[in-house]
Every structure is written in structure tokens, then in C-alpha cells.
Amino acid sequence: MDSDSPKETMNLTSFPLILTEGGDDRLKINPKTGVNKYFCTPEYEPDVLFRGSCTCNMPSELGYAAAKDAYDKLVSEKETIDSLLSSTRSRLHKMYELQEGTGVFLMPSGSDAEYIPLLIAKTLNEGK
């Protein structure tokens, strides 16, 4: 592990640092600077410009609160990952008034989401 690795100096299972896990190297926090490659932290900061949905974004107040709530439920074992994801899919399904049988996919990024149509096409056209 190199000396710039946040795992040597930071507890990445604590909130909000856990928000930087599971993605690519652009999310990793440099322990010397406290920011990622785009100079952002995983914390809500009211005086910082919110740029919308992108890897280098600071969380919004609402997003940060929702992530903290989910984290607290998981840590206290009041919820499981499966139940939280199922609830999110159900709420999205209802909110968008989707037809019965329509799938809701949760993806870590837009780049990853681009693979869903390919997966569907491959599944529907086996062997091609």
C-alpha cells in the first residue's frame, strides 16, 4: 500500500468516508489534502457550489442526510442492503408510475448504466 493510501490513516467504514468506497480511483480521498482528484470531500458543505450529478461532486444537504440515514440503519442492523435497495426500487417504480414488470436498475454511475441495454439485448438475443 502506498503512503498516499487513505486506508493507512483513515477509517473508511465510518461515515462519510464510506461514501468514497466502491467507485473508481477518482473518489479516493488523499489523506494529506483531505480531498479527491477533483478537490472534493464526501461531506456536505453549505458554502460550496453544488454542481449536480458527477463523480467530483460534493453531496447536497438532502443527499448527505439520506446517505447518513441509510448508513445509520445499516450499522444499527435495522435494515439490510437488500431491504434498502428494494425499498428504493419500489419508491422509484411508484414515483414514475411504471408498468408492472418494469425493472428498476440501481447503478453506481452513468458509465455503468450504459451496460444495461447491452445486457438486455444479449439476453433477448442469446448467441448473437
Q: What is the residue extent of each domain of the chain? A: 6-79
- Is the whole model's pTM more than 0.85, yes or no? no
What does the block give as the cell for 32? Answer: 494529506
Q: Identity (one letter) of the amino acid at 29?
A: I
Instruction: Check if the beta carbon of residue 56 is closer than 8 Å to that of residue 40.
Output: yes
pLDDT above 50 (res 3): no
pLDDT tens digits, residue range 40-90?
888 888 887 766 656 667 888 898 999 999 999 999 999 999 999 999 999
The separation between the first and the last C-alpha atoms of the chain, rounded to the nearest angstrom, is: 42
The SS3 assignment for 8 reads helix
Per DSSP, the residues of 68-122 read: HHHHHHHHTTSS-HHHHHHHHHHHHHHHTTPPTT------S-HHHHTHHHHHHHH
